Structure 1
Amino acid sequence: MKKRWGIMLTLILLMGIVAACGNQKSSGDNKANDEQSSNKEQNEEKKYTIGVSQIVEHPSLDEAFNGFKEALEDNGFVEGDNITYDVQIAQGDMNNNQSIANNLVSSGVDLIFANSTPSAQGVLNATKDIPIIFTSVTDPVGAELVQSMEEPGGNVTGTTDTHPDAIPNNVKFIKEEFENVKKVGMIYNSGEQNSVAQIEMVEKALEGTGIESVKASVSTSSEVQQAAESLNGRADAIYIIGDNTVVSALESVINVAKDHKLPMFVGELDSVKRGGFAAYGFEYHDIGYEAGEMAAKILKGESEPADIPVQYPQNLKLLINKNSAEDMGIEIKSEWEKIAEFHEE
C-alpha cells in the first residue's frame, strides 16, 4: 500500500511540474507577443493631415505653398504617403475665410498652414490649441498674431513677407533713378491689415524724398482695373505692394502701365516675372520653405510654435523685367547691370 501511495504522489508531483512549465511557457509567449505588437505599433508611421487656409490664388501665395510642401517632403513628410493636405481657398471673401478656419478646426487637422494675414487671423480666431504656421504675413505683431517676433507665444509662428530693407530700397531706386517721378500711385485693399501696414511703410520711406503718394482703394479684384485707370494723369509711376486683392488682378494694372507708359514697381519678384518693371524682393517659395521647416519640427515633436521665432526673408535682390521696361518706355541703364538681375520672358 505504501508503495502504491508513493507512486501516486510521484505522478502528482510530475503533473504539477509539467503544468507549471506549460504556464511558464504560455506567460513567456504572451510577453513576446505583447512586445511584438508594441514594436509593430511603434514602427507604424503616423499619418498627418495639414489644413491649408489661403485667402486667394495668385502666383506668390501658390509658390509659398509649394515651398512649404517641399520642406515637409525633405523632412520625410510625403504627400499621399504619411501626410494629406486639406486645401481651402477663400477667393478673397472674408466670410469664406472664417468659415474655412472653422471647418479646418472642426475636422481635427494636426496642423494648419495659414497663407496670408487674413488666413492666419481667421484660424487663430478659431483655435488656440492646433499648431498654426503662417507665411505671407507682413506685420505679425500688428496683426496680433504673435506677442513678438522673437517670442511668439501661443500656438502660432511662421515667416513674414516683409524684408526690412525691401520697401526702403524700392523707394531709393525710384528716387535716384527716376528723377521725373514726383507722384507714385498705389492701389490697395484698405480692409487688409497686411496692406495698410505696407502703405504706411512706403509713405514713411517717401518722407524727405520730394515724392508724394497717390492712393486708390479697392475692396475686390474686380475694382482693380478701374483703380489703375484712375491713376493715369495723377501719378508719374505706379507702385503695387504685396496686396493680395490687387496682386490677384495684377495683369489689369500691368496693361494700364504699358498703355500709358508708367513705370510700374512691385513688391515681390513673382510680380516682376508676371510683367511688373522692377522690385527689390525675395522668392515666396523661400519663405514658404522656411515655414515648412518649422512645421516639420512641430510634427516631429522637437518644438512648439511658441518657442520658434518668426523669421524674416533671407535673400533680397533687385529684379528687372527687360521686356516690361521696353513696353513702359523705360531705358535700361548700363549701371543697373551691376546691381540687378534681369528677367526676360
Structure 2
Amino acid sequence: MIADSATSPPRASRRRAAAVRRRAVVAWLGGAAAYPSRAFGQEAALPVIGYLGSESPERYASRLAAFHTGLAEAGFVEGRNVAVAYRWADGQYGRLPALAADLAAQGVTAIIAPGGAEVVLAAKAASATIPIVFELGGDPIALGVVASLSRPGGNLTGVSSLSVGVTPKRLEFMHELLPKAPAWAAAVNPTSPTSRSQLKDLQAAAASLGVQLHGLRASAEEEFDALFTETRRLGAAGLVFSSDPYFAYRSHRLAELAVRHAVPAITQSRDFPLAGGLMSYGGDFEQSHRHTGLYAGRILKGERPAELPVQLVTKVELFVNLAAAARLGLAVPASILTSADTVVE
C-alpha cells in the first residue's frame, strides 16, 4: 500500500491519472516503431520532431507518457497534427551522436533530447540550427549547453531538475537513518559528464558528517552486482547512488539486487522504492518531461529556443519503503517519515 502525504491528490484521482497515462503509453507504443519510417513519407504534411532516447521505449514509458501529456497541453497530438521520429540507443550511449546526426540529416523541425547530459550533448553536437529541447538533472550552464537560464541565446532550451544537485542530500538521509554508521559507499557512472563533480560533492558531504566514503564505479548492468558485494566487503553501512539516467532507468534491477544482498540503498528515482528498494530522493521526472512536451509544442508554434527561458523543476521528492526497511531490520526515524512525499508500506 502507498500512503501519500497530506498534500498528495486523493487516491481515486491518482488512479484516474494513472489510467490516463497508461492509455497514452499504449497509444504511442502502437505507433512509435512505425513513425521513423512514416514520418517523412505519407506523414510528410505534418511537422516532424525527432525524439532522441538513450534507452528503449519500454524504459522510457512513464517519461514518454508525461512528454505526450505536455505536448497535448500545447495543442499537439502525435499522428494528428505532429509526427515523431524516434531514435533509441538501447542503453548504448556511444550510439547517441550518430542517432542525433541522423535526425538532423532528416531535417526535423526540432529535436527532443530528454534523459541526461549524454543525450543533450549529442544533440547539441549534431546541429547548431535545429531547435533542441532538453531535459536533464544538472546545470545546463555548467555543461556549456546554454549561455544563461533566462536567455539561452542559441538553438537549445529545455528543462532542468535538481537531481544532480541534491545527490549529497541522499547521503544525509542515510546518515540520519543510521547515525552511528562510520562508512558508506557511493555509486557513480564514470561515463557520465557529471560523475566527477557528484563524487566530489558526496566526499565533501561525507567529510562534514564525519563519515568515510568509498567511491564505486559502474557503467554497465553486469557491473551492478559488484556494487553491492563490494559495499558489503568494505564494511559500508549502505549504498548511495549518484544521479545518472543509466541507474534511474534500471531501478527495478537495482532494487532486486538491494533486496538480494540486504543492502540499504538510496537512488534518485521513485521507481527504486516502488520496486522494493529502501529510499529515493530526486527531481519529479513526470513534471520535467511534461514541461519538455510543452516547450516542444511552443517551438512548433514558432517560438525560438533562444527566447524561451530554461525551466527549473524545483520539486524534489522523497520516497520511503517501510517494508524494505523492515526486511533490513531498520527503524525509519520520524524525521524522515514526516519529510517523505510518499511512504510505501
Q: TM-score range, shorter-chain basis?
A: 0.7 to 0.9
Instruction: Report deviation, 1:334.
Output: 4.1
Q: Retained in 2: the 8 A contact 1:56–1:244? A: no
Instruction: Report deviation, 1:56.
Output: 1.8
Q: Retained in 2: the 8 A contact 1:136–1:161? A: yes
Q: Retained in 2: the 8 A contact 1:238–1:262? A: yes
Count of residues in correspondence between the two structures: 300
Q: Retained in 1: the 8 A contact 2:140–2:146? A: yes
Q: Answer yes or no: is 1:297 the counterpart of 2:304.
A: no
Q: Retained in 2: the 8 A contact 1:187–1:224? A: no
Gaps of 5+ in 2: 1-44
Correspondences of 1:1-345 after superposition (within 5 Å): 47-57=46-56, 61-115=60-114, 116-162=116-162, 166-234=166-234, 235-301=236-302, 303-344=303-344
Distance 1:137 1:51 in 2: 21
Higher helix share: 1
Instruction: Report deviation, 1:127.
Output: 0.3
**Structure-2 change in CA distance of 1:271 and 1:256 (3 Å):** closer
Q: Deviations over 1:168-219 (max 9, x none)?
A: 4333322333213222212222111133333333233333111222122123
Instruction: Report deviation, 1:59.
Output: 7.8
Instruction: Report deviation, 1:238.
Output: 0.6
State the SS of the aligned residue for 2:162: coil
Distance 1:58 1:278 in 2: 25
How high is the sequence identity, in percent, across the aligned residues? 23
Find the structure with the greater CA-based Rg: 1
TM-score normalised according to structure 2 size = 0.78
Gaps of 5+ in 1: 1-45
**Structure-2 change in CA distance of 1:171 and 1:277 (3 Å):** same
| RMSD of aligned Cα (Å) | 2.5
Instruction: Report deviation, 1:73.
Output: 0.8
Distance 1:131 1:180 in 2: 51
Distance 2:270 2:174 in 1: 16
Q: Deviations over 1:111-159 (max 9, x none)?
A: 1110121111111101011100011342322322112333322101111
Q: Deviations over 1:316-340 (max 9, x none)?
A: 2321112222233222334544222
Distance 1:251 1:300 in 2: 38
Q: Retained in 2: the 8 A contact 1:58–1:247? A: no
TM-score normalised according to structure 1 size = 0.78
Distance 1:60 1:168 in 2: 26
State the SS of the aligned residue for 1:114: strand
